[in-house]
Amino acid sequence: MARPRTTSDEAILGATARALGRLGPGRLTLNAVAAEAGLSPATLVQRFGSKRGLLLAFVQRAERGARRPFERARQDHGSPLDALRAAMAALASDVGTPEELANSLGLLQLDLTDPEFREHARTFTRVTREEISALLTEAVTAGELAAGTDPARLARSVQVAYNGTLIVWALDGDGPLPDALRADLEVLLAPHRP
């Protein structure tokens, strides 16, 4: 009879996120994740097979959860643009330092070079853009953005600005990242206000 799991996969993937933030995928080891999760490396091998298997589970979790920050933001904010600001800040909530961003960007290398990782990243990107576009559509309907605004086109610009803000913030390190994201989003949206 198999022993019951005392630590959920979700808790292990949370520990993986923390270890990735500290180490990046290149320096990440099953030992580091196991120590973060309070488990043995053998348990990780048993559940995920390898470091690659663990990282694939991690990106699959991100893909499955791509809509969550937007759903939470809609629940917490009556204004579609307030929800958009909150969701974009939530997407970057695991990044507190330039070093954490650099370690996070290490996964981008896998996304760009490994077809299996790329597919998950592509889905995450598409879902995120759909959610941004939906909030922008709601903002047009609510009168927060001018009639005639193209939400789909603007959603891509929001996504580009978000990713650009991450890099610029990491390089100049001026203030908290959520503040930089909100400020850059405001500049981008200002010409579309009624």
pLDDT digits (tens, 9 = 90+) for 152-181: 999 999 999 999 999 999 998 778 999 999
Q: pLDDT digit string (tens) for 25-77?
A: 999 999 999 999 999 999 999 999 999 999 999 999 999 999 999 999 999 99
H or E element at residue 137: helix 115-141
Domains of the chain: 1-64 (1.10.10.60), 66-194 (1.10.357.10)
Q: What is the mean pLDDT of the chain?
A: 93
Rounded Cα distance between 13 and 152, Å, is 32
Percent pLDDT > 90 in the chain is 87
- Contact (Cβ atoms closer than 8 angstroms) between residue 147 and residue 140: yes
In three-state secondary structure terms, 49 is coil
Question: Helix 41-48 to helix 51-64 angle, to the nearest 10 degrees?
Answer: 60
Token pair recorded at residue 135? 């909030």
What pLDDT, on the 0 to 100 scale, is given for residue 5? 60
